[in-house]
Structure 1
Amino acid sequence: MTGRALVLDAPGSYHFEEAEPAAPGPGEVRVRVHASGVCGSDRELYQGTRPAGYVRYPVVPGHEWSGTVEAVGHGVPEALLGRKTVGEGFRNCQVCARCHAGETTLCTAGYEETGFTQPGAMADTLVLPARLLHPLADGADLTAAALLEPAACVAAAALKAEARPGERVAVVGTGTLGMIAVQFLAAASPAELLVVGLGRDREKLAHDFGATSFRTADEPLPDDFDVVIEAAGSADAARTGAGLLRRGGRLVLTGLPAPGATGLDPTDLVVRQTEVRTVFGAPPAAWAHAVRAFDAGLLDLLPLVTHRLPLEGFAEAMAPGAGKVLLHP
């Protein structure tokens, strides 16, 4: 049996490769990939704009995925065979101080991640350490589950936001991360849930997911919210988020603006005693939180998928503004 993988040789250059599916080594599993999601970082990979320390060409892309365990290596429980699953991307060392503290996305051994420096899921199969798996309920929809990687990143933001029932909360950004953030915050029973976007194209969807109000960034905005999650990835969004907060409010940044972007005013942060927390990737606790919410029916991810393409549609998926694309091997 041969398998196929999409190999990105260099920015803008890729080919399809056929080979026997790799056998999982000790402590590893092989997953039959159902779908691989495409996000902005994949497009950076294709365009060559991802920072050099966070990519290693040639590479099989694909860090957002879902699939089914089809083989296990030595030392891995056979009970995992046939399980629907998703999995963490950060290949942390497990022995440094940050890993021991559960902060695996801050691993001091150096950056390694599925789909960027290690083979990813834009292939028929994916081999990875079994410790990174998060098995799903038997009845899980694997198409929707392919969005659990961004959901885990948002879960990390929601945990850091510590939104309490009755607080006034807001989300800046209406992309995939923003719409997932709306769902996590709605589950915390807020008194008000405001969504701020650049346009109104996702206003209805935001309300469907639990928003109580919606405004565009160019409208007059309040300044008395307890918690804001920024999910747009721009310096402007960070400033908008900070401006929405009451004195002493909590701001969680999830986006990555371009290097050197003009950011928040430190004087304003100090005077207003704003708490700023940040997210880069998702540690195991956030993954577990996202999977529990998904299995419990609290996350509705399928409406966020805009396109489903075969792996041959990779170039189309890389086009700017293509939406949330799932590639199916």
Structure 2
Amino acid sequence: MTGRALVLDGPGAYRLTDAAPADPGPGEVRVRVHASGICGSDRELWEGHRPAGYVRYPVIPGHEWSGTVEAVGAGVPEALLGRKTVGEGFRNCQVCARCHAGETTLCTAGYEETGFTQPGAMADTLVLPARLLHPLTDGADLTAAALLEPAACVAAAALKAEVRPGDRVAVVGTGTLGMIAVQFLAAASPAELLVVGRGREREKRALDFGATAFRTADEPLPDDADVVVEAAGSADAAATALGLLRRGGRLVLTGLPAAGATGLDPTDLVVRQAEVRTVFGAPPAAWAHAVRAFDAGLLDLLPLVTHRLPLDAFAEAVGIAGRPGAGKVLLHP
């Protein structure tokens, strides 16, 4: 049996290689990949902007994926064979204090993640620990399921947001994360759900997903939200999000702006007595929350996919993913 994998030897340099699919070791599974998504982190790999401690070249990228279990290693239940699945990316140690607390993305043993320091899913197959799997229902759409990694990150934000029925809620950002956030937060029955974007290209989609109002960042904005989720990844977006918040409200930041960015004034945070919570990746509880919501039909992810390309079109796909207005770009082996 032969297989293909896309290898990034360094920034701007990739190749397709033929290799026999690896046999899963004890506690591992081999997944036949259906699709792998491209996000900003993959563009960082390609452009060479990812911090040194968070990448190890050469690497097979691909941390957003879906597939089907085709082989299991020793100690893994054979019932997993043939199951549609997604899986966590952080290769946590399971024994440090943060892992025991369920905060696996903060593992103190050091950073290891599928697609960045460990082989990822831009390949025909992917081998990973079975403990990281989140199996799906038999009828799950694997194309839509390839977006469950970003959905899990948003689920982490939604859990930290703790929205209650009747709350006034806002989302800043209209990309993939923002549109998923609208769906999670709408399910909590807020009295108002405002979405703020740079332009109006995604206004209809936001309203279709449950938003009650839409405004652009350069329009007059309210300042009475109980909860605001920032899902845009820029310092400007963080400042906009804080401005939407009432005094004593809760702000959840999910984006990662460039190092050294400014945008939040500590004095403003104190005077507002704002509660700020942040998200870095998705721990197991957030993954489970996202998968349950997906299986229950509460997340409509397929409309967020705008491009589907073959694996050998990686460079083209990265370029498309960086264009304004582009949605999720998927690569298929």
- 2: CA distance, partners of 1:2 / 1:129: 22
What does 1:221-232 align with in structure 2 at a 5 Å threshold?
221-232=221-232
Counterpart code for 2:328: K
State the TM-score, normalizing by the size of structure 1.
0.99
Aligned with 2:153: secondary structure?
helix
The amino acid across from 1:212 in the alignment is T
Of 304, 327, 330, the residue aligned with 1:326 is 330
Q: How do residues 33-44 of structure 1 correspond to structure 2 at under 5 angstroms?
A: 33-44=33-44
Letter in 2 for 1:101: A
CA distance in 2, matches of 1:228, 1:302: 25
Map of 1:103 onto structure 2: 103
* Displacement after TM superposition at 1:90 (Å): 0.2
Question: How far, CA to CA, are the matches of 2:138 and 2:126 in structure 1?
Answer: 20
Structure 2 equivalent of residue 306 of structure 1: 306
Match of 1:250 in 2: 250
Looking at structure 1, the residues matched to 123 and 250 of structure 2 have their Cα atoms a distance apart, in angstroms, of 40
Does 319-328 or 304-313 show the bigger shift? 319-328
Tell me the distance in 2 between the aligned counterparts of 1:112 and 1:92: 7
Q: 1:170 Cα deviation (Å)?
A: 0.5
SS in 1 for 2:261: coil
Distance 1:289 1:195 in 2: 23
Amino acid at match of 1:120: G
Aligned ranges 1:1-329 → 2 under 5 Å:
1-319=1-319, 320-321=322-323, 322-329=326-333
SS in 2 for 1:112: coil
What do the CA deviations read for 1:275-327 (whole angstroms, capped 9, x no partner)? 00000100000000000000000000000001000101101111121531000
Equivalent position amino acid for 1:57 in 2 = Y
Displacement of 1:79 after TM fit? 0.3
Residues 73-122 of structure 1: CA deviation (Å, up to 9, x unaligned): 00000000000000000000000000000000000000000000000000
1:24 & 1:213 partners in 2: Cα distance? 49
Deviations 1:123-156 (A, max 9, x none): 0000000000000011000000000000000000
Q: Which amino acid aligns with 2:286?
A: A
Residue type at the aligned position of 1:323: G
Partners of 1:107 and 1:312 lie apart in 2 by 34
Match of 1:110, SS state, is coil
Please list the CA deviations of residues 223-265 of structure 1 after superposition, one character each: whole Å capped at 9, or x if unmatched: 0000000000000000000000000000000000011111311
Quote the Cα distance in structure 2 between the aligned partners of 1:76 and 1:285: 21
Q: Which runs of 5+ in 2 are unaligned?
A: none
Separation in 2 of the partners of 1:276 and 1:239?
12
- Aligned residues with identical type, % of pairs: 89
Deviations 1:134-182 (A, max 9, x none): 0001100000000000000000000000000000001000000000000
Query: What is the one-letter code of the residue matched to 1:6?
Result: L
Secondary structure class of the residue paired with 1:317: helix
In structure 1, list runs of 5 or more residues that go unmatched. Answer: none
Q: How many residues align?
A: 329
Matched residue of 2:232: which SS?
coil
Following TM superposition, by how much is the alpha carbon of 1:9 offset from its aligned partner in structure 2, in angstroms? 0.3
| SS of residue matched to 1:174 | coil
**TM-score between both structures, scaled by the size of structure 2:** 0.98
Cα deviation for residue 271 of structure 1 reads 1.1
Q: Report runs of 4+ in structure 1 exceeding 2 Å deviation.
A: none
